[in-house]
Amino acid sequence: MLEASGRIARRGLLLVLSSPSGAGKTTLARRMLEAEGDDLQVSVSVTTRPPRPGEIDGQDYWFVDQSRFKQMRDDGGLLEWAEVFGNFYGTPRDKVESALSTGQDMLFDVDWQGARELARCLPQDVIRVFILPPNADSLEKRLMTRNQDSQEVVATRMAQAADEISHWEEYDYAIVNEDVDDSLAQLHAVLSAERLKSSRRTGLSAFIAELQGELD
């Protein structure tokens, strides 16, 4: 079956990016969204952490208190959730499931716990990419130059980085983010290939049947 655009209909996918803090996944996520336009939408998470300067409620995160978060979790309204550095993060279930069914691709910027839970709930839809720093020095430098965290927080994030990186084998792809443009090109290659998987293209069987009928 062909869509109005001439493309074979397919189910959407979830492009999941994870990394230690400071490895550059937020920059890569932003660049991917800019390049893809309407073809890739960001999944806006719910969180109990306070907004950072410049962050907008409903655009960067949905900022809620712990009581509201726990209600959403207990009512089954979250596809996944995790506690990170004393704050809770979660993914609203209804928006994700609706997007997948209509062929919309979504991007997730989550930690390894969130990625693991998403893969458990939607194993056929999740594509996991782990973003690695080129070395420890560059990671620390990026954390220091963000000017958003105290020295103590930076030290804590560096200490956690080794544990976070230890989960890289759970991911489908790993990208060493030494150069943003090169890393972005690799992400685009991953996304293009995954969009072409036969198992994801729900209209492929009908298209082939129609093609075979024309050839007979």
Q: Which two tokens stand for residue 172?
A: 């489908």
Query: Are the CB atoms for 23 and 176 separated by under 8 Å?
Result: no
What average pLDDT does the chain have? 89
Helix residue spans in the chain (DSSP H): 25-36, 66-74, 93-101, 112-121, 136-145, 151-165, 180-195, 204-215
6 in a domain, yes or no? Answer: no
Three-state SS for 6?
A: coil
* pLDDT reported for residue 4: 40
179 in a domain, yes or no? Answer: yes
Per DSSP bridges, beta strands 126-132 and 105-109 are unpaired
203 in a domain, yes or no? Answer: yes
Q: Report the domain count for the chain.
A: 1
193 in a domain, yes or no? Answer: yes
* pTM of this structure: 0.81
83 in a domain, yes or no? Answer: no
pLDDT above 60 (res 116): yes
93 in a domain, yes or no? Answer: no
84 in a domain, yes or no? Answer: no
pLDDT above 80 (res 1): no
CATH number at residue 176: 3.40.50.300
Chain centroid to CA 185: how far? 16
Domain boundaries, position 147: 14-43+105-215
116 in a domain, yes or no? Answer: yes
Q: What is the pLDDT of residues 148-197, one digit of tens each?
A: 667 777 777 787 888 899 999 999 999 999 999 999 999 999 999 999 99
